Each structure stands twice: as C-alpha cells, then as structure tokens.
Structure 1
C-alpha cells in the first residue's frame, strides 16, 4: 500500500489568501513497509488556475449537490478567488456598509472559497504553508464536501485578529466534526503556536492516520494528535478547502466580525 502525499503552500495576508506549490517532503517517514506517493491532482504550482483540479465556489454552487451560501455575514463569491503572481488568492471585501458589524447578520461581506475536485482520505498527509489574515476572520485550511458531507477535519481555523477574544491570534485551531441526527460531535484542539500566524508564513500539515486520529504538524514539528469525539469515525474521502469565514457571536459564535473599514473595497 502507498501512503498519499499532497503538498501546497499558502499565504493568507491581510484580506488575501494565496496558495502555491511546495516540494518539501513530509516531516516523518511513512509507516513500515509503505511509501509516499505524491497526488498530482492535489498539488499545484498555480502558474495559472487549473480548473481540472480546483473549483472557485460560488454561493449557489457546490459539488455533489452540496449547496452553501456562506457563513453570515460572509457570502461566497467565485470572483473573490483568483491566481496572482503564481499564487492562488482568496479575498474578503465588504459589499456595503453594514452599520453595526457585530449585530448585522445579513450578507454584507463577500468572501472566497476554493475546493479540490479530487479527494483525500485515510493515509494522506496534506500540508499548507500560510500566513493568517489580519482581519477578524478565520483563515482556514480544512477538509469536507464528501459524498455524505457529514464529516469534517479542520487542519486550522486561524485568526490573525481575534477582536473580542484576542488570545485566538496566537493559536493554530484544529478540530474534527461529525454531524449526526442534527448533532455536531466536535472535539477542538487549539495549539498555542508561540508566534502570531499573521506575522509570517508557517507550514501546517495533517496526517490522516486513522478514522479516529489525525496528527498535526507545524513547521515540520509534531504538535498533537486529534481524536474524534466519542470515537466517531471520519472515514469518507474529503475535498481540500481554502476559505475565509467571519464568526460573529450575534450570528452564531466566534470572536466577532471585522470592522467595515478594514475590509471595504478600495
């Protein structure tokens, strides 16, 4: 059996998320008797946008019939994703002045969301080098959008600016979710980074070891093993996702929306 390897490098700076190729090997060897095999469909140098590998999601589209407009107040627009200077770029901008950004739960933000056409699964190591946004929005590298769409791995949901809970801006926030019968079985495992992810690029990787364990690496160093809640399995193949989302207490949960002046279109 060959273990799978996907390598992408990303930048998330200010309101911009960029991704380009990476040639670094995993920070550990494969299990005994196994070998690494690069998954070309999940690896890219982004000299141009390859529509055979990636999809710029829009608020009215999604794979396998999965539709999601976005997490309010951020609405997903395909126009917020592009390739610039060899990097995949995702931006977040204000569509209009919301007034009180902390209580307005209408879609006043436009944000980007890119997902892979191919899927990763158990036995994959996938890595992204990123710099977090300086907005109060989650700069995220995660996996979901399987056929059942009820399983999720958050390699990182990182805030460069946590606003009301500023301690989040020095965390690599990892998590797993299994959605069953209306319940969300979640098991967050925040990592104190020892740095502010908005200040410079850092590699964040995940080895999908088993259906109930995912090992997290930061800058090539092992940090934690995530275990799913109550032993629930994350076992269906999932797509890689890069996006930005605003988490607002008034609209659900989170550290609060970015200020309008921080993300308005210039």
Structure 2
C-alpha cells in the first residue's frame, strides 16, 4: 500500500497545475487502480433514503435542539432548516443526519451544498466517537452570515471560508489539525471565485489518503491538506448538520422566521473507495 500512497502524492501535485484549467472531481487514481463508487454513501437526494441515513438528534449547547422534523428532502435537495422553537433555553430547532455506513481510507467524498443565510454553521463531516474519545474529519464548517464582528476571520471574510479540521480525542485530550480555504483565492476561471456560501452552490471534497493525511478540495480545486497528530484508528460515519454557537453570534429570531434564509441545502453526495483494477 505504501507504493499506492506515493503514486497518489505525485498525482495530487499534478492537480495543482491542472485544476486551473478544468474542474476536477476525485483525485486521479494511480495506474492499476480506480475509484469505485460507494453506493451506501452516495445520494442524489430524490427522497430521504432510510437505508442510508439516520437522524442524529444529540444536542449541541443551547440554544440548539435537534429535531427530526427539521430534516426533509424536497425538489431533489436535502434540506436542513433552522427555526424558532417554543423554549426559553433551546429556542433554535434544527437538524442533523448521519450515514448508517462507515468508511476508512483511502477514500474520497464530495458534496454540492448551499449554506443557510443565517449566523449558524453549515457542516459536512465524518466522525466516530464522542467528545472524550473520537476520530473526526471536518470537511466544511461555514458560517455564511455571522453576527459576531469579533469572529477570528473577520465578519467580512467569514462567509467565504471553508473551515476544515481533524480532531483526534483520547481520554478527553483532543488534538486538532485545522485548515481554511476561501473562495476569494480560487482560480480566475472558476465560476464560484469570490462567491460566498449562501449565494451559490459550492462543491466540497475530502481525499482521506492514509492514517494521518487529509486533502481538501473546494469547487474542484485542491486547496490544501491537514495531517493528524495521531493515527486514525476508526471507520467513520458521514454527517450533515446545521447549528449555532456563541463564537460567531447566534441568529436572530427574525432570521429564523425567514424561509429564504434559514435552510441549508445539499444537492448530492458522491463517495468513492480506491480499488485495484481487475
């Protein structure tokens, strides 16, 4: 397998050059290998496929409360909606789903997604475990309309930024390997250059190479990598979710009543495993 990974590193280097000429999907497979679709982790969202997805209803901190009814499939899109909830503490009802199947490296997954236009995180990620012990890969965490002007990237930049991260927690000690990419730095030929995440659909991708390395893709372009500080030891589920926190400011209740702003949309997800050609 070491030889496979060396060849893939060479192909990823080539991607830096060719991505300015055309939009790529998964990285090129090395000679003798191919990318094979993982059907249980791929979906066009023509309906809600209960053979592929579970509702994930554990809660983040208040004001979030995860409710099954906030997740739906309409017009070929997975919809996760945040709305006002009749509770003084958990006053923002929203949703999250997780795949029933799990996957490990080497793999590639990508989705086409449009963020909600509220102060909340639109998320596409992989996880197995809890806050004390887990392997987690955050492909995209984006707040497309933050309310807190003190947010670390600056309120003007944050709607354009795809935050990616690796978390590896053991007995409560979490080691992180963060990365960030902005649509403002996409190539000139990219139709999504400079577009924020709620005004257009964007494609987010992860190539999980080996027991440490993750490579990030945004709108068909290679935008960097992260290396885990511990080796990955678990197969992971894929998640989509919408939630808020105090770091970037909670959405106001008027935003949560606005159906033109309060929904995150996923057009499709495609996932692949690297397999030897027969």
Structure 1 counterpart SS, 2:49: coil
Deviation for aligned residue 1:265: 7.5
- Which of 134, 138, 150 aligns to 1:150? It is 134
Structure 2 counterpart SS, 1:128: strand
Structure 2 counterpart SS, 1:145: strand
- Partner of 1:224 in structure 2? 224
**For residues 128 and 43 of structure 1, do their structure 2 counterparts lie closer, same or farther at Cα, with a shift above 3 Å needed?**
same
Structure 2 counterpart SS, 1:169: helix
Structure 1 counterpart SS, 2:181: strand
Conserved in 2, the CA contact under 8 Å of 1:130 and 1:203?
yes
Q: CA deviation digits over 1:44-80, x for unaligned, max 9?
A: 122221110111223xxxxxxxxx3233211111111
Number of residues paired by the alignment?
223
Q: Distance in 2 between matches of 1:34 and 1:26?
A: 16
**For residues 25 and 51 of structure 1, do their structure 2 counterparts lie closer, same or farther at Cα, with a shift above 3 Å needed?**
farther
Deviation for aligned residue 1:247: 1.6
- Partner of 2:238 in structure 1? 240
- How do residues 84-123 of structure 1 correspond to structure 2 at under 5 angstroms? 84-96=74-86, 106-123=89-106
- Partner of 1:30 in structure 2? 29
Deviation for aligned residue 1:107: 1.4
Conserved in 1, the CA contact under 8 Å of 2:114 and 2:199?
yes
Structure 2 counterpart SS, 1:79: helix
- Which of 138, 147, 169 aligns to 2:121? It is 138
- TM-score, with structure 1 as normaliser: 0.77
Q: Distance in 1 between matches of 2:218 and 2:233?
A: 23
Q: Distance in 1 between matches of 2:61 and 2:107?
A: 28
Deviation for aligned residue 1:137: 0.4
Structure 2 counterpart SS, 1:163: coil
**For residues 180 and 25 of structure 1, do their structure 2 counterparts lie closer, same or farther at Cα, with a shift above 3 Å needed?**
same
Conserved in 1, the CA contact under 8 Å of 2:140 and 2:204?
yes
Q: Distance in 1 between matches of 2:95 and 2:68?
A: 6
- TM-score, with structure 2 as normaliser: 0.74
Q: Distance in 2 between matches of 1:141 and 1:77?
A: 18
- Which of 169, 172, 177 aligns to 1:187? It is 177
Deviation for aligned residue 1:146: 5.2
**For residues 145 and 264 of structure 1, do their structure 2 counterparts lie closer, same or farther at Cα, with a shift above 3 Å needed?**
farther
Q: Distance in 2 between matches of 1:257 and 1:53?
A: 31
Q: Distance in 1 between matches of 2:78 and 2:182?
A: 27
Structure 1: gaps of 5 or more residues: 4-23, 59-67, 99-105, 249-253
- Partner of 2:271 in structure 1? none
Q: Distance in 2 between matches of 1:145 and 1:91?
A: 24
Q: Distance in 2 between matches of 1:265 and 1:223?
A: 33
